[in-house]
Amino acid sequence: MLKRVTLPVLSVLVLTTGSVLQAQPVPEGVAPTSPPAVTTVLPGDISGVLLMDTRANAWNGLNRFIDLPPGFSGPGFLPYIPAEVNFARDIQPWLGDWAAIAVMPGGEGTGSASLQEKAVMVAPIEDPNRIPNFVAQLSAIQGQPRERQFQGVTLLEWPGPNMARAQQKSPGSLKSWPIALNPLFAFKQSKWLKGLPVLAQTRPILPDATPRAPEQPAPRPPEVQGTAGLAIAIVPGYVVAAQSSAPLERWILTKDTSNSLARDPQFQRTLAHPESGRSLVMGYGNFTQLAELSSASPLLNQLVPLPASGDINAAGGELGTLYSAIDLMVWMEPQGIRAQSRGFYKTPATEPLGVPTPNPMAARLPASTYFTCGGSLNWWQAIGPILGQTFLTLPGLDQIPEFTQSTLGLDVTEDILPWMDGEITTFVFPTNRGFFPTVDETMKLGMGSMIETSDRQSAERLLTQLDEQIANQLSGAITITRHQINENSVTSWEVINPNGRTESVFAHGWISENTLMMTTGLGPFQELYPQPAQSLANAFNFQAALEPLPQANLGSCYLNMGSFLAWVNTFVPPEINASPEGQIVLNSLGKIRSISGTGISLNTHVQWDLFMLLSPRS
């Protein structure tokens, strides 16, 4: 079962992040009734493709949530095309309906080619008479291109000093991200934004009337002069762009094949998705090819960390042998943005499927919970491969196996995980008590987990051993005490703070016959047990976050973005709050009320759903 749920759910998160500010409802009557034309000129054996609706009327509802700049016309950009080319004036008048960002299949001798060497943007031309002006605009910005012929097609290549400098950095450098995968392309670069993805090739999109200070071109390092940062080809019906000519050449060699993506049965299954008619972003990929590409491309592994083709997951078996294809849809619900990713098995599942559960632990959590994530052990062990690693090698968890072995003489996979065979829920919530407020009074939060088990005896044996080891090894620093709460015994680890007061920093106890709860202190434990003052299950924001999603049989997660940001804002430096860039980011994040997700295992595929609940623009 585990091997069949380790599909990269991060594909939902990453691709939704890149399109979250664009996705809006498609008006009735404009939904595609057949494969987008651009898919007829893409090869059927393509590694992956992201399709973006480029029709202006599909974006009319955008200002429901966002204050749009004057002259904005959705989607507002084309991947790889410099932002100085005015989209509304110089691109949209000639642009067709769907543009594609495709990862071309590798030809002979290109098996180890990276994402940058295979990614290409293909945009349909509706009015060819406007193309000369578009090329002139590119030349005015990039300079005169170098022209050469390939298979009868003229390729235009521009040196890209900014991109060339980025290429001097590591292949995974954030500054070398293509604009197609850069959700912050419209924000200016500033000191505090250094860690965020910024496309070196582009500058912010501004309305025509907005004055721009003259810029002096940065000196180009001699050793990288002539490195191509932009290459385009124009063929009947299409403009094709990439970071270099290599993917353009691959596309030219395959565009006339009768075995097009539009004819591929697996892609046709994606088009048959019930939400394809109103999706503004659609994705499709050959799982095996993407896994192979992630092995050769550190950049792809950072963006969508697929397991490499040879990676073995915790249960054994190669992921590449389980899945044939993955797909993605992003569309708009009345209250926010929905995304769904599916991973299709090569052979149907024969194992029993999990029974959908309506968030069984939500009633035990407070309505003020910042974050909670819960599900079966399959759900939790799937999180590791989602992030490109096994669960117990993730940062922060990688020391657990060695620690438990050396201090307790227990093996995690043999002595601990087997009894954790029920629902496993983790949570973070606001509190003034427990470990974190003791360490720092501004850290007003508590953490914990609830674990269901059918083997309480093994769990109690482990907890007893853990208490004894802590008492022996940290004698004088930590005291183990027992407390009675609602006639149940709760174990507390306690320390003396600098003021001489006793503080509980860890607590564990049974809240039902088969459910263990652990929290960062006795105070947080008492706030949740026997029950919180107001439960999360009855909270309106939580109900609104989960209502549009299918009921999970693997697990679900919920982030109360409003409450979480209110807490985070207490740590934001004043200069960020006062800066225009900071206001843009904080105001945009402030529109998000919650982010929720569920995982479902079905006979034919595993499915991950994401919902972002938004506040309408006031």
Give me the DSSP letters along 287-327: HHHHHHHHHH-HHHHHHS-PPPTT-B-TTSSBGGGTEEEEE
Q: pLDDT by residue (tens digit) across 331-368? A: 888 888 899 999 898 888 776 566 666 677 899 999 99
pLDDT at 387: 45
Position 378 pLDDT exceeds 80: no
More confident residue, 295 or 344: 344
| Cβ–Cβ under 8 Å, residues 77 and 11 | no
As a whole number of angstroms, the distance between CA 67 and CA 494 comes to 51
Q: What percent of the chain has pLDDT over 70?
A: 67
Token code pair at residue 616: 């309408």
pLDDT (tens digit, 9 = 90+) per residue, 228-278?
489 999 999 999 999 989 899 989 998 877 889 999 999 999 999 999 888
Q: Tokens 């403009």: give the residue.
A: 239
Confidence tier at 307 by pLDDT (50, 70, 90): very low
Cα 232 to Cα 158: distance, rounded to the nearest angstrom: 9
Burial 408-417 (b: 16+ CB within 10 A, else e): bebebeebbb
Side chain identity at residue 510, one-letter code: W
Per-residue pLDDT tens digits for 393-439? 444 555 555 656 656 666 667 667 788 888 889 999 999 999 999 88
Written as one string, the DSSP assignment of 428-448 is: EEE-SSSHHHHH-TT--EEEE
Give me the pLDDT at residue 201, please.
30
215 vs 448, residue with greater confidence:
448
pLDDT at position 581 is 77
Model pLDDT for residues 502-517, shown as the tens digit of each residue: 999 999 999 999 999 9
Residue 406: helix, strand or coil by DSSP?
Answer: helix
195 or 361: which leads in pLDDT: 361
The better pLDDT of the pair 591, 190 is held by 591
pLDDT at residue 469, as a whole number: 85
Mean pLDDT of 63-87: 79
Task: Tell me the per-residue pLDDT of 82-115, one tens digit each, with 9 for 90 and over.
Answer: 988 888 889 999 999 999 999 988 654 444 556 6
Task: Give the residue among 75, 37, 38, 33 at the shortest CA–CA distance from 58.
Answer: 75
Computed over every residue of the chain, the mean pLDDT equals 75
CA-only gyration radius of the chain, Å: 27
Tokens of 328: 């993605």
Q: Is there a contact between 319 and 307 (Cβ–Cβ < 8 Å)?
A: yes
State residue 585's pLDDT score: 78
Tell me the mean pLDDT in the region 439-451.
Answer: 91
- Determine how β-strand 98-103 pairs with β-strand 515-519: unpaired
What pLDDT score was predicted for residue 106? Answer: 65
pLDDT of residue 558: 95
For the cut 70, the answer to whether the pLDDT of residue 81 exceeds it is yes
Q: What is the pLDDT of residue 520?
A: 96
What integer pLDDT is reported at residue 348 of this predicted model?
83
